[in-house]
Amino acid sequence: MDLLGPDHPLYDVLRKPALPQYDDIRPAAIAQCSSTADVIEALSYARSAGLPVTPRGGGHCFAGRSSTTGLMLDLSPLSSVSVTGASATIGAGARLAAVYRGLHEYGLTIPAGCGPTVGIAGLTLGGGLGLLGRRYGLTCDRLVAATVVLADGNVLTCDADRNPDLFWALRGSGGGQFGVVTSLTFAAVPSPTATRFKLTWPRSHAAEVIAAWQLWVPDAPDDLTASLTVNAAEVQIFGATLATFDPGPLAAPEIDLRTDLSWPALKASLSEGDPDTRIIHSKSEFFRTPLPPDAITELLGTGCDLNFTPMGGAYNRVPVDATAFAHRTERFLLEHAGPDRNAVRRSWSIAHPYASGAVYPNFPDPDLTDWHTAYHGPNYPRLRDLKAEYDPAGVFQFPQSLGGSR
């Protein structure tokens, strides 16, 4: 383990999270962990120094939970990708772009997100939505084993037979709840050749496009994933299909199709352009029924970006209690985003009466009061009991965490 203090030349490089609103959080120290043994040593140091501890894979947490004023565990050196047959074992510090490239060498992939620098561990532990999700399920649905270091330094292997309760909890409860995950093993799927599409309209068409999207995409064939975004300038439906592209009921004035793309190339094409370095606030909820026209009109007047992600398909063919991820009956996720926090809250409040009340654990919302139900639904009591069993002192605790006595 390499322990880096504020005077170390790499400290500022490593401490900065992906989201700029948390740039001012400064850890007391950063532990660079290259092995499970390093994580054990880092946790021992945190106990002896009386420091709170936070693991970081990618640093994209919407609520800043991958940053701390205590000891930050930098897991980025744990980035290996190895394959045996159709089984892929991935280090907890790996980022998605490297995961896709590494698995593609073996003709494989996993259903996961698009952000190239998103960490595989955090994504998986909170569920994991992505372009192959309607075909193959959440990222956590493909998880078959994980290695976890508990707060007391004990190392557990979790799968369907060994520590099955903890394995259940790791699939969708959210990152950093029970221990430090150092590796994850997935049942991989064939890496497809696919078509990437972008359909674009002037913003004046937003209401009609949203209305049509809500009725079409959540019920579309599993091979199609089409997200929708509305910003100040335009409306865009984008995504991927494993079959011949069919725009359904929507005729767009501008269509950008790229066919026969490898899966890493398709993912990379969705991240083209300069990154957005603004401070962006967001709130989101799941929906089981379409938004009515009046609500859509009101939402379009808030000035916020609106991002719709489809559910359905394989996401919803898993029982609610089969994994910790409880949101198996939703049609879509709506995220409200923008630089004005009050405008984001106003936009969310307009849509909220029509939402299911469920919230994606990977999009944590510090404003929530009944977060137990929002994140975990009927799975919360079991998760609370498992938290008491595996982290009784509440070492891995933060606002809206499952519990503990710390």
User: For residue 305, which of 278, 327, 267 has the smallest C-alpha distance?
Assistant: 278
Point out the domain boundary residue: 26, 57, 74.
Answer: 74
Are 21 and 120 members of one domain?
Answer: no
β-strands 108-109, 189-190 pairing: antiparallel
Task: Decide if 401 is inside a domain.
Answer: no
- Residue 295 in this model has a pLDDT that exceeds 80: yes
The mean pLDDT value of the chain amounts to 95
- Of the chain, the percentage scoring pLDDT greater than 90 comes to 93
- Residue 125 in this model has a pLDDT that exceeds 90: yes
Write down the pLDDT at residue 250: 85
The gap from C-alpha 286 to its chain's centroid, in whole angstroms, comes to: 14
Are 356 and 237 members of one domain?
Answer: yes
Are 280 and 334 members of one domain?
Answer: yes
CATH number for the domain harbouring residue 7: 3.30.43.10
Q: Which two tokens stand for residue 208?
A: 């009609």
Task: Decide if 178 is inside a domain.
Answer: yes
Tell me the C-alpha distance between 34 and 122, whole Å.
17
Over residues 8-35, the mean pLDDT reads 96
Task: Decide if 400 is inside a domain.
Answer: no
- Residue 404 in this model has a pLDDT that exceeds 60: no
Q: What is the pLDDT of residues 205-237, one digit of tens each?
A: 999 999 999 999 999 999 999 999 999 999 999
Are 57 and 183 members of one domain?
Answer: no
Point out the domain boundary residue: 74, 102, 118.
Answer: 74
Predicted confidence band of residue 405 (pLDDT cuts 50, 70, 90): very low
Task: Decide if 243 is inside a domain.
Answer: yes
β-strands 193-202, 234-241 pairing: antiparallel
- Residue 62 half-sphere exposure, CB side, CA atoms within 13 Å? 22
Task: Decide if 403 is inside a domain.
Answer: no
**Do 186 and 99 touch, CB atoms closer than 8 A?**
no
Write down the pLDDT at residue 262: 97
CATH number for the domain harbouring residue 315: 3.40.462.20
- Residue 275 in this model has a pLDDT that exceeds 80: no
Task: Decide if 169 is inside a domain.
Answer: yes
* SS3 sequence of the chain: CEEECCCCCCHHHHHCCCCHHHCCCCCCEEEECCCHHHHHHHHHHHHHHCCCEEEECCCCCCCCCCCCCCEEEECCCCCCEEEECCEEEEECCCEHHHHHHHHHCCCEECCCCCCCCCEHHHHHHCCCCCCCHHHHCCCHHHEEEEEEECCCCCEEEECCCCCHHHHHHHCCCCCCCCCEEEEEEEECEECCEEEEEEEEEEHHHHHHHHHHHHHHHHHCCCCEEEEEEECCCEEEEEEEECCCCCCCCCCCCEEEEEEEEEHHHHHHHCCCCCCCCCCCEEEEEEECCCCCHHHHHHHCCCCCEEEEEECCHHHHHCCCCCCCCCCCCCCEEEEEEECCHHHHHHHHHHHHHHCCCCCCCCCCCCCCCCHHHHHHHHHHHHHHHHHHHHCCCCCCCCCCCCCCCC
Q: Which of 193-202, 332-341, 395-404 has the lowest average pLDDT?
A: 395-404
Write down the pLDDT at residue 272: 78
Are 204 and 307 members of one domain?
Answer: yes
Over residues 66-70, the mean pLDDT reads 96
Task: Decide if 274 is inside a domain.
Answer: yes
Are 353 and 286 members of one domain?
Answer: yes
Are 181 and 219 members of one domain?
Answer: no
Write down the pLDDT at residue 403: 65
Point out the domain boundary residue: 74, 96, 128.
Answer: 74
Task: Decide if 395 is inside a domain.
Answer: no
Q: What is the pLDDT of residues 138-195, one digit of tens each?
A: 999 999 999 999 999 999 999 999 999 999 999 999 998 999 999 999 999 999 999 9
Are 347 and 205 members of one domain?
Answer: yes
CATH number for the domain harbouring residue 124: 3.30.465.10
**Do 179 and 148 touch, CB atoms closer than 8 A?**
yes
Which residue has 């998880």 as its token pair? Answer: 143
Domain total for the chain?
3
Predicted confidence band of residue 246 (pLDDT cuts 50, 70, 90): confident
Are 88 and 218 members of one domain?
Answer: no
**Do 50 and 91 touch, CB atoms closer than 8 A?**
no
Over residues 76-88, the mean pLDDT reads 98
Which residues, 6 or more positions from 22, have their beta carbon under 8 angstroms from its beta carbon? Answer: 64, 67
Q: What is the pLDDT of residues 303-360, one digit of tens each?
A: 999 999 999 999 999 999 999 999 999 999 999 999 999 999 999 999 999 999 999 9
Structural domain for 266, as ranges = 193-373
**Do 185 and 146 touch, CB atoms closer than 8 A?**
yes
- Residue 116 in this model has a pLDDT that exceeds 50: yes
Are 205 and 336 members of one domain?
Answer: yes
Over residues 2-26, the mean pLDDT reads 95
Over residues 385-404, the mean pLDDT reads 89
Q: What is the pTM of this model?
A: 0.96
Are 239 and 318 members of one domain?
Answer: yes
β-strands 87-91, 108-109 pairing: unpaired
Are 178 and 260 members of one domain?
Answer: no
Q: What is the pLDDT of residues 174-190, one digit of tens each?
A: 998 999 999 999 999 99
